Amino acid sequence: MLKSDDGKTVSYWEASEDLIKKDSLIESIETDICIIGAGISGLTTAYLLTKAGREVIVIDDGLIGGGTTSRTTAHLSNAIDDRIYRIEEWHGEEKARLAVEAHTKAIDEIERIATEEKIDCDFSRLDGFLFKADDGEDDLDKEFEAAQKMMQVERVERAPIKDFDTGECLRFPRQGQFHILKYLSGLAKAVEQNGGRIFSNTRAIEWKGEDSPEVKTANGQTIKAKSIVLATNYPIMSKMFAKLPAYRTYVIGARVPKGSVEKALFWDTADPYRYVRTQEEAEHDVLIVGGKDHRTGQEDDANRRFANLWQWTKTRFPMAEEILYKWSGQFFETHDGLAFIGRFSNSEPNVYLITGDSGMGMTHGTIGGMLVSDLILGRENAWQEVFEPSRLATQSIKEAIPEIVSSTVPYVDWITGGDVSSVDGIKNGEGAIIRQGASKIAAYRDENGKLYQRSAVCTHLGCIVRFNSLEKTWDCPCHGSRFGIDGHPINAPAISPLGEIEESSN
């Protein structure tokens, strides 16, 4: 099995469909459009542009689809998870209507592409149900009032969950679900059939726009292009980190008897909310339940979070027999509920970005592909202003302040001691921060006892990284940069590896 570089755990999608490996780019080339990042955002953009006859090169520093896309739960929804009434409050009714339309059209687009390209990706239409959580807000009335003005929605007595009475809830028809990696394989194949070229293990380390746009790769190649698309989840070499707080979210996949759970999407109103769907297997179904999010790098208690998700699941879905899959992943929020999609800046009009996916990155990534390809092709797109990256945060400053404070508090790690006093205190399979004079070291000992040591200083803005003991990565608690145990960068904003130090013997 080819495994994503994103972390140690294996998602259901990775376990059931191989990630795709392509050749690395080993020569400098010229193209019409260079897309950095081969997740759902990058490949959808590539598909639509190659379909329109444009010359496209996609590069990814890992395997195709091996980023956040391989960690998703692949709900396809237009019931915006920050709530439609909030989107209306922050952006006004017209923009809220356009945002809902964009998510609706994104589901249609995925269905259209899957049908047209004959991608067998388990796509299906189904209802979505939003119900009040015991520990959640009671805002269903407000949501109904706002949503009914712009989409199909109805109040129903309860969600169709056999052993659990959710109480009155909202039903959103014509939502969708699919197997993301099967879809992405099909999309990659279609891009290549249309003449596009895709390279994996090709890391972009620099780009420039203006008069002569180009991308430089870690192995010394240059890609000259008329347009560049940053589809790297967090846009590399951007200063958007204050607008994009990073979160980690957790998922379990449990065996349930075939057909015992209604095929639908379920979400509750807890904050963070729980998200539930099923996936059919030959002998049984898999009940996929996610939630328990926290700011990246600020907690390291995955087992407690999985146990909590399992207890919640067993109480509501007693047919759940055992946990088959456990994984986690990272996503970036925006302060106003909508992704940032469009031109990078006025001074670099030929560079585009797709980011701020939040829990709706399957549709946001698809909207990104549709909107960015229209901009490049010079077509009008009614959603341009809604997702404009340079828009000011419309969320009230009172709501945004805790997020900003949360990004700066971890700087105190500079003055605290280490987790252990020396590497001798680190057991096999564990990582810890060690203070050495004025420096801090990120030390990890693998299952065979081999010791890895790097500087613990995040190469983005100098926070001290923290160990993620579930995924065996070093995560920055300030802005969500992540690094492998050998220090290689996994998630921007940082793009350089953790610094080298002189290794002491183990």
Ligand X SMILES: Cc1cc2nc3c(=O)[nH]c(=O)nc-3n(C[C@H](O)[C@H](O)[C@H](O)COP(=O)(O)OP(=O)(O)OC[C@H]3O[C@@H](n4cnc5c(N)ncnc54)[C@H](O)[C@@H]3O)c2cc1C
Which residues lie near ligand X (CB under 6 A)? 36-42, 59-62, 66-69, 71-75, 203-204, 231-233, 236, 249, 251, 275, 290, 329-331, 354, 357, 359-363, 365, 492, 495
- H or E, element range at 180: helix 180-193
Return the amino acid letter for 169. Answer: C
* DSSP assignment of 21-86: --PPP-S-EEEEEEEE--SHHHHHHHHHHHHTT--EEEE-SSSBT-SGGGG---EE-SS-TT-HHH
CB of 418 to ligand X, least distance (A): 30
**Nearest CB to ligand X, comparing residues 256 and 353:** 353
- Cα(152)–Cα(135) distance, rounded to whole angstroms? 27
CB of 447 to ligand X, least distance (A): 25
CB of 490 to ligand X, least distance (A): 8
- Cα(241)–Cα(478) distance, rounded to whole angstroms? 9
CB of 241 to ligand X, least distance (A): 14
**Nearest CB to ligand X, comparing residues 144 and 275:** 275
CB of 365 to ligand X, least distance (A): 5
**Nearest CB to ligand X, comparing residues 73 and 453:** 73
Torsion angles phi and psi, residue 307, rounded to 5: -60, -40
Say if residue 397 is exposed, middle or buried (CB neighbours under 10 Å; 0-12, 13-18, 19+): exposed
**Nearest CB to ligand X, comparing residues 104 and 232:** 232
**Nearest CB to ligand X, comparing residues 230 and 423:** 230
- List C-alpha distances in Å: 149 to 130, 143, 314, 396, 483: 17, 10, 36, 24, 45
CB of 367 to ligand X, least distance (A): 10
**Nearest CB to ligand X, comparing residues 243 and 440:** 243
Candidates 2, 7, 3; CA nearest to 490 is 7
**Nearest CB to ligand X, comparing residues 166 and 330:** 330
Within 8 A by CB and 6+ apart from 459, the residues are: 481, 489, 494, 495, 496, 497, 498, 499
CB of 249 to ligand X, least distance (A): 5
- Cα(9)–Cα(139) distance, rounded to whole angstroms? 35
Cβ-proximal residue to ligand X, closest one: 361
**Nearest CB to ligand X, comparing residues 64 and 434:** 64
What does the block give as tokens for 350? 């030929």
CB of 200 to ligand X, least distance (A): 9
Locate tokens 């009009």: which residue?
349
